[in-house]
Amino acid sequence: MKKLFYIPVLLFSVCFSCQHPEAPVKTRTPKQYSSEQLRNNVAVEAAGFNGDESGILVSNNQSGIFNAYLLNIADSTSMPITHSTTDSWFGVGYLPGSSSLLVTHDQGGDENNHLYLQRKGDSTAKDITPWPKSANRFIGWSADKKSAYISSNHRDPKYFDLWKLDTSNWTPVLLFQNDSGYDVAGTSPGERYVAIVKSITTDKNELYLFDRSNKQLKKISNDTEATWNAAAMEKGDSILYYITNNGSEFSYVVRYNIKTGASSRYFEDKWDVVAMSLSENEKYHTILVNDDGRNKVLLFEHATGKQINFPSLGDSEVQDLVISPSEKNIALTAGSSTSPANIYNYAIETGTLKQLTKTLNPEVDQADLVKADVIRFKSFDGKEIPAIYYKPMQASDTSKTGALVFVHGGPGGQSRAGYSNTIQFLVNHGYAVLAVNNRGSSGYGKTFYKLDNRDHGYGDLNDCIWAKKWLASQTYIDSNAIGIYGGSYGGNMVLNALCMHPDEFKLGVDLFGVANWMRTLKSIPPYWESFRKALYDEMGDPNTKDSVLLKATSPLYNYEKITKPLIVFQGENDVRVLKIESDEIAAGVKKNGVPVEYVVYPQEGHGFQKKENQITTDKRTLAFLEKYLKPAKAANPNALP
């Protein structure tokens, strides 16, 4: 998976879109909300159940940053577990049969997450991964529930090994030493096999099983250009489930017999299957499908394959689920484009669904928020490009609105039809937003995914130009008031749009965008070593003649072409796109005499987690749009001359 950073020409008059969103029955002006009001919504995610399944371990940002809480199922109250005021802390899970739990956090966005033991009643947490400058991730619990599996790069900063930590003393034991750029996917319940993958390109990897009994690697994948990822292993260490797009545009689940080598397709859909998991005692399995920008989560009896339907959640879709150890309860995370995700408990045996959170600020009327539409438009070469569209309620032919082309991160990311505080804030204040899934985005088949390889800044950027043309063809949008907004890879697209197509967009909003591909590709974190070759295969190797292409698509080498207003946001501790990238592009564009605003947040990394910084970003962006993008008011046709 790409992970650098979460157009024949048709007649203008009729062919910009093969699908238009349905217009609201009646145009109206919704109540406008401040950023503080919308950011006073709560973002929440479930990690697992406590020992007696009376509560669900969640992480939410109600305090301004994320902390861990225990959410009581009976009365929906929540009890704080961590009390950080600086860095976000996230719940990992309760120790089996214990009131103690694991939590994780990094330092100011440096991505070096450590795992901590938090005992009930203790005011401080114990670092069980106390290795300086290391990144550590929880993999799962051992079958006897007496140990935790983790991956860590503390032995070698470039590679992640698999370790087993006894929960009685947290002494680490090495299970798999990674010296060849593998990524550890997990271990079998009996610990005999370790599933590992090796990146070849961003479109191809290899899947192996490492047999710890004889120290042998067994290759599961073949040599076709396809992706292969381990999903689950049954007890008995004999059955592996993996997800691949071998011989297909979209990914599907395969059931593989480790002992015999026999395999068969287990589940497939017309869209990508992105995850499959087994419950504690293998009573159930779940499937997650990326269904045209929306999640589709399916629950099955594992032994029979019979699907179990969830009760209706209205407009909300299930975004994630956690099945309890007893297999009697499911913690569901579900939301919609007009509602932040909420946590529900579903009692499987009784079919009872209970909503446990209300994350939308009660000051906000959900009817004032805009539902996302999935649309498609034709690009420069006739290719159909998917996008997620948000039309302001107040937009009309007589009250035209400005608009933004919104570009996701990546390369290889995808804009989804879920809830976004950022987008809802902009749309609520009268700006249409088209979140384009340009060529190279995930979720639309492997052919579409590969279309931007060695073509970044050209085909993918032209898709954004034609997204702008689609917006301009909407009669209620002022075609002279369209800007471009994006973060990370999307921020690079913003800067390149202003450089390479200086007359297309009225302004740019850049959040920690890549300004110099040469430097970014050379300075990726050491723990991305296993992915470096694949990344260079797609983007270009900065140490070879590819540097010519990389310089051509690096805004820092073209900033003198930027003539439109630009605002830049950057985290001081960003390890993926270094602060110097934004420093230099902001300084360079200022030399052009162009209006530039630059905002740097201390103790933030690649993405902003503190609400106060998110609010500042909203406010500064809106003020910037109001100053440089706001459409001129239409003349009153009934006014006297």
Instruction: Report which of 302, 319, 628, 322 is spatially closest to residue 484, judged by C-alpha positions.
Output: 628
Beta-sheet strand order (sheet of 252-257) = 228-233, 239-244, 252-257, 263-267
11 falls within a domain = no
Residue where a domain terminates, one of 355, 390, 423 = 355
Residue 162 covered by a domain: yes
Which carries the bigger pLDDT value, residue 519 or residue 1?
519
Do residues 346 and 327 touch, judged by C-beta distance below 8 A? Answer: no
Asked if pLDDT for residue 500 goes beyond 90, the answer is: yes
Which ranges of 341-410 would DSSP assign to H, the alpha helix?
none
Q: Which of 147-151, 255-259, 315-319, 375-379 has the lowest mean pLDDT?
A: 315-319
pLDDT of 420 above 60: yes
State whether 330 and 386 are in the same domain: no
Taking 80 as the threshold, does the pLDDT of residue 640 lie above it? no
Indicate whether 463 and 390 sit together in one domain: yes
Do both 118 and 156 map to the same domain?
A: yes
Residue 635 lies in a domain: no
Q: Give per-residue pLDDT as tens, 30-77.
A: 999 999 999 999 999 999 999 999 999 999 999 999 999 999 999 999
> Is 5 inside a domain boundary?
no
- 633: in domain: no
Judge whether residue 483 has pLDDT over 50. yes
DSSP string of 17-58, one letter each residue = EEE-PPPPSS---PPP--HHHHHTS--EEEEEE-TTSSEEEE
Lowest mean pLDDT among 16-20, 361-365, 453-457: 16-20
Q: Calculate the average pLDDT of the chain.
A: 93
Average pLDDT over residues 596-624: 97
pTM for this model (two decimals)? 0.92
Residues 447 and 506 both lie in one domain: yes
Q: Which two tokens stand for residue 447?
A: 């052919």
Residues 6 or more apart from 25 whose CB is under 8 A from it? none
Which of 355, 385, 419 is where one domain is finished? 355
More confident of the two residues 525 and 196 = 196
For 592, the token pair is 């052009």
Tell me: the pLDDT tens digits for 250-275?
999 999 999 999 999 999 999 999 99
Q: Which of 93, 88, 143 is nearest to 117 (CA)?
A: 93
pLDDT > 60? residue 146: yes
The yes-or-no verdict on residue 524 having pLDDT over 90 is no
List, in sequence order, the alpha helices (H) in 235-331.
Answer: none
Which of the listed residues 336, 355, 374 is the one where a domain comes to its end?
Answer: 355
Instruction: Name the 3-class secondary structure at 273.
Output: strand
Predicted confidence at residue 475, as pLDDT, reads 97
Question: Per residue in 195-244, pLDDT tens?
Answer: 999 999 999 999 999 999 999 999 999 999 999 999 999 999 999 999 99
Confidence of residue 11 (pLDDT cuts 50, 70, 90): very low
Same domain membership, residue 527 and residue 441: yes
Range of the domain at 187: 40-355
- Model confidence at 633, in pLDDT bands (50, 70, 90)? low
Same domain (yes/no): 535, 609: yes
Distance from C-alpha of 330 to C-alpha of 529, rounded to nearest angstrom: 37
Residue 637 forms part of a structural domain = no
Q: What is the tally of structural domains in the chain?
A: 2
**% of the chain at pLDDT higher than 90:** 89
Query: Is the domain of 46 the same as that of 65?
Result: yes
At residue 637, does pLDDT exceed 60? no
